Amino acid sequence: MNGYGLLIGLILLLASCRAKPGTAEVKERTHTDATVVQPQSQFPFPDIPATLTEAEARKAFLLTHYWDKFSFTDTTLVDNRDVTEQGFVNFIALLLDGTTSEELARESLKNWCKGFVGKDHALRVLTQTADEYLYNPNSPFYNEALYGLYLETMLDVLPQTDAVCSSYQFKLELVRRNNPGDRATDFTYYLPDGTRCTLGTTPTKNDRLLLVFYDPECESCHEVLQQMAADASLAEAVQSGKLSVLAVYTEGNEEAWRKALPDMPDKWIVGTDREVVKTGALYDLKAMPSLYLLDGQKRVLLKDAAYEAVRRSLHF
């Protein structure tokens, strides 16, 4: 994207124009220097060798050495969002610019993770930052592919005896499931009359099934479901057989589910999975509602997509 291109140019420019040690702009301090050290106000970009003149080579050096000058032991610096968080945003923007190879991304992530592993405060802050930017569906940088590489990297650099490894492994297994092109994980659900059904045997009209995991007691679910119920284009598609909709309640309050059934569109298939999806971690339900667009073979076309993305895919 153009914005990323501009960002790359800016970062490369910054990295090449930083003052070098020994110039008038840099004062070397000793442990006996009595001058008060001011908090760092800018991210400490690495100095790219002048011998690297090609943009691709300069970018590769910048990414692999991006965190070399960052002090992960400086808790004040780590807590400075203007430096640390903005530096991380620029870092992942470069990784996600569409031109970064997986090999370069892996090497860059490994160098970053090795920098803070073993430094408790930095580890806590930076792993939380990674979760917020790469794994939060509301983040503009939400990207499960890069998040998966980050999780793989953490599992690679952490001691295998570290207690958090099981948490990273669990998340990695989740993000690897039900991706576009995969056959959606089958599960059992029950209709309001108690009829037992499975996703695999659910009829699909016109090779399209919109799978909706929801909770009527969830505010965001209520808003999205209202939007969908009021969407004349969706209603027409279901009515005319262009699309099937399966809405599955994933929580354990059957009374709340049944109370909300009258609000669900008549032509939708509505059921409850009796918490099998959540307890079995069959799908990643980090945010609700969670929408999956499937084809007639129950292969995933869109994973955990916003409703607007579903509408665009269906050409509403």
Q: Are residues 137 and 8 in the same domain?
A: yes
pLDDT in tens, 38-76: 556 799 999 999 999 999 999 999 999 999 999 999 999
pLDDT in tens, 201-258: 999 999 999 999 999 999 999 999 999 999 999 999 999 999 999 999 999 999 999 9
Question: Are 204 and 292 within 8 A, CB to CB?
Answer: no
> Is 181 a domain residue?
no
> Is 34 a domain residue?
no
Residues 62 and 307: their CA atoms lie apart, in Å, by 37
Degrees (nearest 5) of the Cα angle 271, 275, 278? 115
Residues 236 and 252: their CA atoms lie apart, in Å, by 32
Tell me: pLDDT of 31 over 60. no
Q: Are residues 155 and 232 in the same domain?
A: no
pLDDT in tens, 96-146: 999 999 999 999 999 999 999 999 999 999 999 999 999 998 899 999 999
Let me know if 267 is exposed, middle or buried by CB neighbors in 10 A (0-12, 13-18, 19+): middle
> Is 300 a domain residue?
yes
Domain that holds residue 129: 2-28+40-175
Tell me the pairing of strands 290-295 and 300-305: antiparallel
In the prediction, which pLDDT does 11 show? 59
How much of the chain exceeds pLDDT 70, in percent? 87
CATH of the domain at 251: 3.40.30.10
Q: What's the rounded mean pLDDT across residues 140-154?
A: 96
Residue ranges of alpha helices (H) inside the chain are 2-17, 55-64, 75-78, 84-95, 102-116, 120-130, 144-157, 165-175, 219-229, 232-239, 254-260, 276-279, 307-313
> Is 77 a domain residue?
yes
- Cis amide linkage into residue 289, ω under 30° from 0: yes
Residues 109 and 11: their CA atoms lie apart, in Å, by 18
Number of folded domains in the chain? 2
Question: Are 71 and 91 within 8 A, CB to CB?
Answer: no
As a dihedral over the C-alpha atoms of residue 216, residue 218, residue 219, residue 220, rounded to 10 degrees, the angle is -100
Residues 249 and 256: their CA atoms lie apart, in Å, by 10
As a dihedral over the C-alpha atoms of residue 254, residue 255, residue 260, residue 264, rounded to 10 degrees, the angle is 40
> Is 234 a domain residue?
yes
pLDDT in tens, 159-171: 877 788 999 999 9
Q: Are residues 128 and 209 in the same domain?
A: no
Q: Are residues 143 and 50 in the same domain?
A: yes
Residues 6+ apart with CB under 8 A from 153: 106, 109, 110, 113
Q: Are residues 20 and 117 in the same domain?
A: yes
Rg of the chain in Å (alpha carbons): 24
> Is 183 a domain residue?
no
Residues 6+ apart with CB under 8 A from 79: 125
